[in-house]
Amino acid sequence: MAKVKKQPRPKAETPKGFRDYFGAEVTQRSEMLRKIAQVYHLYGFDALETSAVETVEALGKFLPDVDRPNEGVFAWQEADDADKGDWLALRYDMTAPLARVFAQHRNDLPVPYRRYAMGPVWRNEKPGPGRFRQFYQCDADTVGSGSMASDAEICALLADTLEAVGIARGDYLIRVNNRKVLNGVLEATGVEEDGQRDAVLRTIDKFDKVGEAGVRELLGKGRLDDSGAFIDGVGLTEAQAAPVLAFLTSKGADASETLANLRSAVGESASGAEGVDELEEIAAILNAQGYGPDRIVIDPSVVRGLGYYTGPVYEAELTFDILDEKGRKRQFGSVAGGGRYDDLVKRFTGQSVPATGVSIGVDRLLAALHAKGRVSKDAAGPVIVTVMDRDRMADYQAMVSELRGAGIRAEVYLGNPKNFGNQLKYADRRGSPVAVIEGGEEKERGVVQIKDLVLGAKIAENATLEEWKERPSQYEISRSDLVAKVREILADQAGEQA
């Protein structure tokens, strides 16, 4: 007899680099995003939701004449007889779709256009621990205003947003720098050759890691790194390197001192002077609004993103300590960043349109809220009405109806009710605060048993027999008192957790 070849079963797995989010993971994030949206809305920003899918042409980074234009993005070609279908891709950020939207709808949109967007983006990158290929972004941008007031506004918005979601004043700092100042510094070095300029930029990017002394070495002859390898330097003279080091270390005791240091670092450069003027204007506006240096500060040591942006750059850092995976204290670090990029839609329209905006790292901010205990640990589990008699399902359903009517999360056990232990195990897995029990005997007497599962678990862990007798975790009450008693127990539990 011929063997029937068995079709192998499909694997029940997410694709590599993707994951599922359960229960509180979902609701905590959406609650945080809702609070952020409220602040964005208060500032006059309008919601925008673009589709996940864009043409590769509109996204702009990838060219259809490449064989597989999916480096970095998830892309595919539309089916088409002549194999000339459009290449489509999943958006990799919120900014590229914003550029497309503004170019497409520019005659209908108010200008300046303040918009916020929140949702997943996708990156076709090698996944790693904690690195996923789908993650949330939450952006606010103002398109069509070159005014420094819009940059100042974004900084204030960011501060208000962090406080609205639960980061206390003093636990965060928004640091502002300016790409034009850096341009002025580059002019002041006298370095003109593009390759050498790029090398200086790359070195500045390492300031966070290697500090002032490290940057000095790397701008000059080179440096032995921690592993003992020698890193070639850019080869600047001391005099050439001086403006760069002055720039990176120009933070003074207050904004006016910092600005004076920056003016000296950029020397005669017109672009540099413009950048310092811009920072001065931002500082003045924020000051008038009451955002002092305890919240927003001019800080030229912020170098992340300086290569990408064209004007002011901002970064939100959380300044409290957490323990890293090795138990060492370290600052929580950056949760949002942004800046001005003045050529947003030029690719589409040929016209320069100024824009500035910020992107919040949703997962990092949520992790910070967890670290500060500002997120409820778990969504409350439902009250479980157990099933003692499967023919009286209607009775049990009536109970949950009453509880829900009173705003209490509740459900009937819907598995096989034969084994009562399984029902309590299920309640445990759900994190249920209360179980309701009504057997035939109780039904006859018009009573129900109410089990306080939180107290029960505590007693099981800690209590002496005396305590247990004094504070029983199970109560027999009249059926008509069901809602009142459950409400009372839930209130007690909430009080004890607070």
Which residues, numbered 131-160, are part of the site for its own copies (CB under 8 A)?
A: 133-134, 142, 144-145, 147-150, 152-153, 156, 160
Question: What angle is formed at CA 363 by the lines to CA 358 and CA 364, rounded to 5 degrees?
Answer: 75
> Which x/- pattern, by CB under 8 A, does the window 320-339 give for its own copies?
--------------------
d(CA 396, CA 379): 23
H runs (alpha helix) in 350-419: 362-371, 393-405
Q: How far is the CB of 226 from its own copies (least distance, A)?
A: 34
What is the total count of residues that contact its own copies (CB under 8 A)? 106
Beta carbon nearer to its own copies, 328 or 429:
429
Choosing from 3, 4, 13, 465, the residue that interacts with its own copies (CB under 8 A) is: 13
Q: How far is the CB of 3 from its own copies (least distance, A)?
A: 18
* Dihedral over alpha carbons 267, 268, 271, 272 (to 10 degrees): 10
Residue 217 contacts residue 233 (beta carbons within 8 Å): yes
Beta carbon nearer to its own copies, 62 or 332:
62
Beta carbon nearer to its own copies, 200 or 427:
427
Can residue 423 be called a binding residue for its own copies (CB under 8 A)?
no
Choosing from 66, 68, 376, 460, the residue that interacts with its own copies (CB under 8 A) is: 68
Can residue 370 be called a binding residue for its own copies (CB under 8 A)?
no
User: Which pair of structure tokens corresponds to residue 290?
Assistant: 């009451």
Which region, judged by CB under 8 A, interacts with its own copies, from 319-327, 410-418, 454-462, 471-479?
A: 410-418
Q: DSSP readout, 171-238?
A: SEEEEEEEHHHHHHHHHHHT---HHHHHHHHHHHHTHHHHHHHHHHHHHTTEEE-TTSPEEEP----H
Residue 246 contacts residue 181 (beta carbons within 8 Å): no
Can residue 120 be called a binding residue for its own copies (CB under 8 A)?
yes
Site for its own copies in 224-263 (CB under 8 A): none
Can residue 382 be called a binding residue for its own copies (CB under 8 A)?
yes
Q: DSSP readout, 136-175?
A: EEEEEEEES---HHHHHHHHHHHHHHHHHHTPPTTSEEEE
Q: How far is the CB of 168 from its own copies (least distance, A)?
A: 18
- Per-residue DSSP letter, 392: G
Choosing from 35, 43, 322, 475, the residue that interacts with its own copies (CB under 8 A) is: 43
Can residue 52 be called a binding residue for its own copies (CB under 8 A)?
yes
Choosing from 1, 2, 22, 226, the residue that interacts with its own copies (CB under 8 A) is: 22
Can residue 420 be called a binding residue for its own copies (CB under 8 A)?
no
Can residue 277 be called a binding residue for its own copies (CB under 8 A)?
no
Q: How far is the CB of 74 from its own copies (least distance, A)?
A: 7
Which region, judged by CB under 8 A, interacts with its own copies, from 16-24, 236-244, 465-473, 484-492?
A: 16-24
Residue 267 contacts residue 243 (beta carbons within 8 Å): yes
- Per-residue DSSP letter, 345: T
Residue 36 contacts residue 138 (beta carbons within 8 Å): yes
> Which residue, 185, 285, 167, 295, is CA-closest to 240?
185
Site for its own copies in 164-193 (CB under 8 A): none
Beta carbon nearer to its own copies, 11 or 328:
11
> Is the four-CA dihedral 415, 421, 424, 429 of positive or negative sign?
negative
Beta carbon nearer to its own copies, 147 or 196:
147
- Per-residue DSSP letter, 123: -
